[in-house]
Amino acid sequence: MLDIKFIRENKEVVQAGAKKKHLEVDIDALIALDDERLKQLKEVEELRSEVNRVSNDIARDQDPALKIQLIEEMRTVKEEIKVQEEKLKAIIEEWQKIMLQVPNVPDMSVPEGQGEKDNKEILTWGEKPKFDFTPKDHVELMLKLNMVDFERGVKVHGFRGYFLQNDGAELSWAVWNYAREFFGRRNFKTFIAPSIVHKQNLFGTGHLPGGAEDIYQTQDGDYLAGTAEVPMMGYHSNEIIPKEELPKRYLAFSPCYRREAGAHGKDVKGIIRVQEFFKLEQLILCEASHEESVKFHEEINKNYEEFLQSLGIPYRRLEICTGDLKVAHVKSYDTEAWIPSQNQYRELSSASYYHDFQTRRFGIRYKDAEGKLRFAHSLNSTAAATPIILVAIVENYQQADGSIKIPEVLRQYMGNKEFIKNS
């Protein structure tokens, strides 16, 4: 959520930012409603002051008749307060509704564009594998090696269901363990985060009110988070963090759930787009400085790129354009791995920063050098998401005989064997 003061002082900038993200929001109407809110708030405060004044008069005056008169006056004022407070409540509810729709302002460096086709390729890394045989896709490879069971997955879960099994499950565990150690060496504190969260956490991160169709809801009105970013931002909600503890670097592991309601029928084959998966997430809270946010944004993205490099997976980095930027994002990079069977790159990670958009909603603050309370800045990025990263490993490391060469850094977690192959 943006600061209403910032919105009022920079309404053209905010309106232009919404337009760049192709979002409809009337900033002039919001400011007019805010004027009404402030006016109504003033009226309520004046009535409350009147009650306090009359109460003091009652306490001081010894004339019984005058006391009765003053008590009656106070009763009348209190009834008026109730009426005006109800009006204020209705105004605030509408004001909050519109405020939640106001998107974050994209950084000036973000390329303009209409959608994902306009995202800008910044760099590529690694040599795409050259096979002297016809490469197979991950589905065929993993089925023949008994690494996955889709038939029983569909029987148990339905559409997009799957079981990772045998070396498929072991490879997933290997990635998790390696990622935990890799990012741990970069001063990240490890967590296992809950996936069932209260609704306000999704509003806090900006996943609501938009995007509700892709979020699972429980019968109790809670939600299943699609990323550990959601519970980890709630971890410090309504807290004041000592300045000397910033930045906070968190690495959180959690099951993740996404309905993929808008993607029904897309990429249904295999484990590229699934409804439940596991992910380790990088999250940073830092001081309220644009320069700090930019610095840590580059850091978390570099962390992930070096993680992929250590696995030997070819990838590219995309700078997300304004039209593809999420509501809460100031700037975002996507990292995509090369998938040989599709002859294209596919997204593995997204790294984003938000300034105080999220922390303002969560009430996460710290005291600056002058003792002033400031909202911290937040950033996050994927550290490792499975099973999608398994697709990149399996397809890029496939051998002519149908076996899979295990990346060297993962072998210690798989009994030091070099290949996954039929026994």
The reply to whether 301 and 381 lie within a common domain is yes
Label residue 114 exposed, middle or buried (CB < 10 Å: 0-12, 13-18, 19+).
exposed
Domain boundary among 64, 99, 134: 99
The reply to whether 121 and 92 lie within a common domain is no
**pLDDT > 90? residue 255:** yes
Is 236 within the bounds of a domain?
Answer: yes
- The total of structural domains in the chain comes to 2
pLDDT value of position 260: 77
The reply to whether 175 and 124 lie within a common domain is yes
The reply to whether 80 and 145 lie within a common domain is no
The reply to whether 150 and 199 lie within a common domain is yes
Domain boundary among 74, 99, 124: 99
347-386, pLDDT tens digit by residue? 999 999 999 999 999 999 999 989 999 999 999 999 999 9
Is 320 within the bounds of a domain?
Answer: yes
pLDDT value of position 264: 56
Domain containing residue 26: CATH number: 1.10.287.40
The reply to whether 95 and 201 lie within a common domain is no
When the pLDDT of each residue in the chain is averaged and rounded to a whole number, the result is 93
256-269, pLDDT tens digit by residue? 999 876 555 566 67
pLDDT value of position 321: 98
Is 300 within the bounds of a domain?
Answer: yes
The reply to whether 409 and 336 lie within a common domain is yes
Is 307 within the bounds of a domain?
Answer: yes
The reply to whether 88 and 141 lie within a common domain is no
Domain containing residue 163: CATH number: 3.30.930.10
Is 106 within the bounds of a domain?
Answer: no
The CB-based long-range contact list for 127-136 (8 Å cut-off, 24+ gap) reads 127/314, 128/314, 128/338, 128/340, 129/314, 129/340, 129/396, 131/340, 131/398, 131/400, 132/400, 133/400, 135/340, 135/341, 135/395, 135/398, 136/341, 136/395, 136/398, 136/402
Domain boundary among 99, 127, 149: 99
The reply to whether 345 and 266 lie within a common domain is yes
- Cα 377 to its chain centre, rounded Å, is 13
Is 104 within the bounds of a domain?
Answer: no
The reply to whether 246 and 316 lie within a common domain is yes
255 phi and psi angles, rounded to 5 deg: -70, 145
> Lowest-pLDDT range, 48-62, 120-134, 233-247, 379-393?
48-62
The reply to whether 129 and 77 lie within a common domain is no
pLDDT value of position 59: 64
SS3 assignment for the chain? CCCHHHHHHCHHHHHHHHHHCCCCCCHHHHHHHHHHHHHHHHHHHHHHHHHHHHHHHHHHCCCHHHHHHHHHHHHHHHHHHHHHHHHHHHHHHHHHHHHCCCCCCCCCCCCCCCCHHHCEEEEEECCCCCCCCCCCCHHHHHHHCCCEEHHHHHHHHCCCCCEECCHHHHHHHHHHHHHHHHHHCCCCEEEECCCEECHHHHHHHCCCCCCHHHCEECCCCCEECCCCHHHHHHCCCCCEECHHHCCEEEEEEEEEECCCHHHCCCCCCCCCCCCEEEEEEEEEEECCCHHHHHHHHHHHHHHHHHHHHHHCCCEEEEECCHHHCCCCCCEEEEEEEEEHHHCEEEEEEEEEECCCHHHHHHCCEEECCCCCEEECEEEEEEEEEECHHHHHHHHHCECCCCCEECCHHHHHHCCCCCEECCC
Please state, in angstroms and rounded to a whole number, the distance separating the CA atoms of residues 88 and 196: 33
pLDDT value of position 301: 97
* Confidence bin at 211 (pLDDT 50/70/90): confident
Q: Which domain holds residue 68?
A: 4-99
Label residue 164 exposed, middle or buried (CB < 10 Å: 0-12, 13-18, 19+).
buried
Is 18 within the bounds of a domain?
Answer: yes
Is 15 within the bounds of a domain?
Answer: yes
> Lowest-pLDDT range, 76-85, 173-182, 299-308, 360-369?
76-85
Mean of the pLDDT values across residues 317-345?
97
29-82, pLDDT tens digit by residue? 999 999 999 999 999 998 888 877 767 666 666 667 776 776 777 788 888 899
The reply to whether 280 and 360 lie within a common domain is yes
